[in-house]
Every structure is written in structure tokens, then in C-alpha cells.
Amino acid sequence: MKKYIVTLLISCVAFSQQTPASKQKESILITGGKAHIGNGKTIENSIISIVDGKIASITDGTVAKVSKHDITIDATGKDIYPGIIAPNATLGLVEIDAVKASNDENEMGQMNPHIRSIIAYNTESGLVEAARPSGVLLAQIAPRGGRISGTSSVVQLDAWNWEDAVIKENDGIHLNWPRSYSRSGWWAEPGGIEPNKKYDDQIREIQDFLNDANAYLGSNTTTRDIPYEAMKGLATGEKQLFIHVDGEKEIVDAILFKKKNNIQKMTLVGGYYAYKNISLLKDNNVSVLLRRVHDLPLLEDEDVNLPYKNAKLLSDAGILVGLQNAGDMERMQIRNLPFYAGTCVAWGMNKEDALKLITSNTAKIIGIDGNYGTLETGKSATLFISKGDALDMRTNNVTEAFIDGRKISLESHQTELYDRYSEKFKAKK
């Protein structure tokens, strides 16, 4: 029996999360690196001072004087970036898809605005650990399922528990807009496209729920209704409405829903055909978190490169746009988020503008731009240093990363395996 207990303990140690870094105590100076600010600008020979978890100053090293710091990091020949932000993510909610007990991304029922994804967030997830070596340091943890999935929160990816991780709690409600059509068949043998005869009824159900919630919130009743209470804040802008929608007609209907109900802040999640409704988006101040860039077009007769071009189409039109990663194998694919931005560069976007898709733009959309998303004086020192271009999967090599000034571990199960087998092959030589 003791033998089995020892084996279990060894297995737990081998696959456990790295210990979160302690609060920054010593001042840090990063010199010589090319700083990508995240707002479209760069500083070639930068000096970044980090004190008490904040960027105390960021200057051009050719003209600024270097003050004494406790720790100095020479980043000459390297690139420095703000921490990448993964919106609409399910990191920490599911560990193994095939193991039901590890799946906590959705709840039973259709109208669940009161379901708070943050309390199910597992900071010990190995997939959280695997995202950090690509520079992904922040995430919006969002629920799935139902018509109204629940409420998301924003976290930093180096914490003991969800209370330590959260940086913005209950930031928005996630609504899955109905489709006006459906496909018959399955992925291997797709059938035709058929109209959804229940589409109008499904929209009416959403409207009825919102009407009932508003009536409840405006009443003096002493009987509590927790789902209705969770809808509070949409009309004032305290909470944002994230509508998961792709179709052209559906996007128009979703924006009309925003106008009708005086919803202050709304973002389309997916937004595949948003580029066909540019004027409507601009007139109603609607932002977009685009569906996965590395994907096929939705229809067989479309430009096969449309997913790669979509971000540029929207950005050029003045739409605030970010990238998200929902879809198959989405949690393990989070590490590829910087490379999605790199693909947008390959299809016409300026590199610094593409960086904004996963840093400052996303920070603005989810409401954390006051402290994250760019390398600016007074903001959180959440950043990373790479030996190569962070948006290029051939050269991205993160050497150091900081969250709120804390130098975090970049080790993961994958890096452990790399080190182990590197020793094996060295021994053979």
C-alpha cells in the first residue's frame, strides 16, 4: 500500500503547477531591448524600470540616464512585449475533454447569467502553465453552453487560487445568439443549409427574459431572483454583453437588440461576417473578438483566406478588434494566440497593429486597459522578453516573463519533457 501512495505522490509532484512567484520586492531594470509598446509604437533601445509591480518608467536608452536598481537584465538583441491577453477562454475550466469530472465549463439550463465562471477556475491546470511560455499571461475566463452561458472574469495566469488570480470580476455576460439557419448532416458528410423556423421565437425568448429581468430590477419585491439580479449593470455599462454570433443577418439583429434595450457596451464574439456590417458596428460602438484565425471559411464557395484577412478588413475600417480562440481543442491552442496575430501580418497587417489585436485592443474590449495591454509608465509590469519575434512561431522564444512585476516560471510539463529527452540524445552522442 505504501508503494502505491509513494507512486501517487511522485506523479502529483511531476505534473503539479509551478509555485506562483512572490510579490516583487527588488527593483528591476531591463536594458537594451526593443520594446513593442502595444499601441503601435516601438522603442529600439529601451530602458524599463519596474518597481512595486508597476512600470516606473520606460525610456529611450540612447538619451536616458540609467539609475541603480537591485536587478539588471540585459535584453540587448531581444524584444520586449506586453503580456498577451486571451479573451473568451476556458482555461482552467476543463482539463481533459474525455473526463467528465474535469469539465466545468457549462451548466444545465438555458438562461444562466448568474453562473460565475471564476469560481470554477482551476489555477493548478497544466494548460494554464503551458500557455505562459508563449507570452500569454492574462485571460478572460468565460463559460459555455445554454442561451445565456453566464458571467466571465479576467485573471492573471500565476496564482494560488482564483481569488489571487482575478483582476476583474464579473466583467460581462455571454449570450449565444440563435442561428437563422442550420446545417443537416455531419462534418464528414455535410448536408444542405435549412432555415431555422424557430429563430424569431428564440429571439423573443431572449427579449422576454431581459424584459422580466428589468422589471424585477425596477421593482421593490423582497423575493430574490438570482438570475435576474445577475443582469444588473448592462444598462449602465458596469457589465458588458458579449454576443457570440457569426452570421450577417444575426449580427444585424444582435445590434438592433442592443439599440432596443439601451445596452451600453457590447462586443461580438466570433463576428465572422462583421466586415459586411461596418457602418452598423461603427454607429453603435460595437467591438469584435474575431473567431480563430487558423480556420477554414464557413461556406464552401468563400475565399479560403478570408479568416486570415478578416482582422485587417475590420481594423482598416476603424473597428476595435481582438483575437480569440474558441473552438476545437481551444485550451491547448491558447499558446498559439501570438501566431494568429502573426498570420494577420502575413496577410497585410502592420506587425505592431497585429500585436494590438492580442494586447491593447483586447484590454480595451474587456475593460482592463487602465492597467494592462501596453508598456506605459504607471501600468502593471506584465510583460515578457523574447529572443525572437513573438508573433513568429519559428523564432518566438520567451526567456523571461513578469506578471505585476513578479518574475514567473516558464517551466511546464512540455519543457520538462524537452529537457529530459535532450539529455537522452546528448548521452547517445
pTM: 0.91
Residue type, 135: G
Whether the predicted pLDDT of 239 surpasses 90: yes
Residue with cell 487560487: 161
Secondary structure of the chain: what % helix, strand, coil (to 5)? 30, 25, 45
Residue 334's φ and ψ, nearest 5 degrees, are -55, -35
Give the tens place of pLDDT for each residue, 81-131.
Answer: 999 999 999 999 988 888 888 888 888 899 999 999 999 999 999 889 999
| 256: three-class secondary structure by DSSP | helix
d(C-alpha 113, C-alpha 229), whole Å: 9
The DSSP code for 277 is G
Q: Which is it for strands 321-323 and 287-290: parallel, antiparallel or unpaired?
A: parallel
Q: What confidence category does residue 64 fall into, taking pLDDT thresholds of 50, 70 and 90?
A: low
Domains of the chain with bracketed CATH: 19-83+373-429 (2.30.40.10), 84-368 (3.20.20.140)
The DSSP code for 103 is B
Residue with cell 485592443: 361
Q: What confidence category does residue 193 fall into, taking pLDDT thresholds of 50, 70 and 90?
A: confident
Give the tens place of pLDDT for each residue, 245-291.
Answer: 999 999 999 999 999 999 999 999 999 999 999 999 999 999 999 99
C-alpha cell at 15: 505534473
Q: Which of 149, 402, 155, 159 is nearest to 269 (CA)?
A: 149
d(C-alpha 246, C-alpha 326), whole Å: 13
Q: Would you call 211 exposed, middle or buried from its count of C-beta atoms within 10 A (0-12, 13-18, 19+)? A: exposed
